[in-house]
Amino acid sequence: MIGNLKRLVLTQTKLSKLSAPTHQPKSHVHTRLKPPKANQTLKRCLDSNCNTKAILLFRELIKHGPSSIDSFSFVFVLKACTKKPFTLEGKQLHAQLIKLGFHSIIHLQTLLIRFYSASGNLLDAHYMFDEIPTKNIVSWTALISAYVANQKPQNAVELFRKMQKLNVEPDQVTVTVALSACADLGALEMGEWIHAYVGRKPELKADLSLNNALINMYAKCGEIKTARELFDSLGEKDVTTWTSMIVGHALHGQANEALQLFGKMEEIKQKNGKSRDEGNRESSIILPNDVTFIGVLMACSHGGMVEEGKKYYQSMSEDYGLKPRDVHFGCMVDIFCRAGLLKEAYEFILGMPGQANAVIWRTLLGACNLHGEIELGEEVRCRLLELEPGHVGDSVAMSNFYAAKGMWDKKVTVRDQIKQRRAPGCSSIEVACEISEFVSADDDHPLEAEICEALKYLTVSIKAYGYSPEISSLAEY
């Protein structure tokens, strides 16, 4: 934590140990490393993605005294630490800039927020933000981005709201990042408010990145029609624009729309490719990326299009040179499983390059349960026990599987192997731009009585229409 970082300043002599003497004479080093030439070298290392080299060079500069560096030196090397990220080296740099009196420079403070975010250390990122006496929009955006990047969208939205209450005017980057948080949360009201806010502020020109964020937000928040209207209205589109819309259609089970859009994307690619061959240099070719194919494969899965899925999976590598990742393998397994082709899914997993992860095997386990393939399900569970022996959900799923088959002895055996409870489920709801989270069996909410009363009413209503729960699907502990 940064609270302990000031003690690190006292141990900065360790940097000299890290800065082992080079084989070059001191005089040679001094003539080669004086600012601004040293900063130019650091910048070249950063631009060339030689981040380790930049850090080693900075250590060499530190060894020859504070006069060898300035605040810009810290800028370059902090960016290098953020790219990897180099967690230990970044913390040492933070301590060093405190020691040398650079800690009050807002640009360096903002870079430290980004560094701690890249390291997954949100506590210190927020602490660094709080240390800034006069915060500007860049520092606010850096912290909001930190929460989005570390899968804490609710914190990001709350911070954006706090910024508004303090009358800090967001810029295009801020609202783009805030829209990403709304998309992850499904916070439609907040997303619509941001869209309207952009419309009221002529200085917030909706560029391509902002429009892409709006399409993504509307699609993920269930407003697929609005997302498509916005998509169709745009004159300028890039691969992110097309991908956001294709994924949006796929998420909503609109397989035909997603694949038709992908087909149109390919047609434009071929047309522009032909124009370029004919000498029209202004024609730009937009190629699908690996995320685009995630949307395409998801569409095939939801649409039950097995052969089409195989074709697109093959086209991904053969026509576009894209290497499939675990998520693409998972999509293919899901395609087979939804179509009931469990043996084919199993063979596909065994034929994958490298070891399949637990998520892929878990997809097959769920399909085995759904289709009553008990023997294959037992084989899949054995695989999962090897990968994640402590995952409670797999044992619960298998226990329910045995119960559905009436195999009570095996159910009891699996149930007795469960040594801990599953992490409670969590859901969220947005009311008047406020996000509330609920954990399973949560009794701390101030409106608990009203919520329970509403749930009782819903239960009575759905039972009146003939609903009855399947007892065998309820997990026992």
Q: Specify which residues 431 forms β-bridges with.
A: 434
Question: Where along the chain do its domains lie?
Answer: 1-134
Q: Name residue 451's amino acid.
A: I
> Token pair for residue 74?
């810290």
> Across residues 405-433, what is the average pLDDT?
72
CA dist., res. 254 & res. 300, Å (int): 10
Q: How many angstroms separate the first and last alpha carbons of the chain?
A: 38
13, pLDDT greater than 70:
no
pLDDT in tens, 329-376: 999 999 999 999 999 999 999 999 989 999 999 999 999 999 999 999
List the one residue out of 421, 423, 422, 427 whose CA is nearest residue 455. Answer: 427
Could you tell me if 164 and 152 are in contact, meaning their C-beta atoms sit under 8 angstroms apart?
no
Q: Is 304 left (phi over 0), alpha (psi -120 to 50) or beta?
A: left
Contact of 345 with 364, CB cutoff 8 Å: yes
Tokens of 146: 């930190």
Least Cα distance to 178 among 193, 200, 165 occurs for 193
**Per-residue pLDDT reduced to its tens digit, 278-302:** 555 444 678 999 999 999 999 999 9
pTM for the full predicted model: 0.77
Burial class (CB in 10 A: 0-12, 13-18, 19+), 416: exposed
- 420 Cβ neighbours under 8 A, 6+ residues apart: 390, 392
Question: What's the CA angle centered on 184, arms 178 and 185, to 5 degrees?
Answer: 90
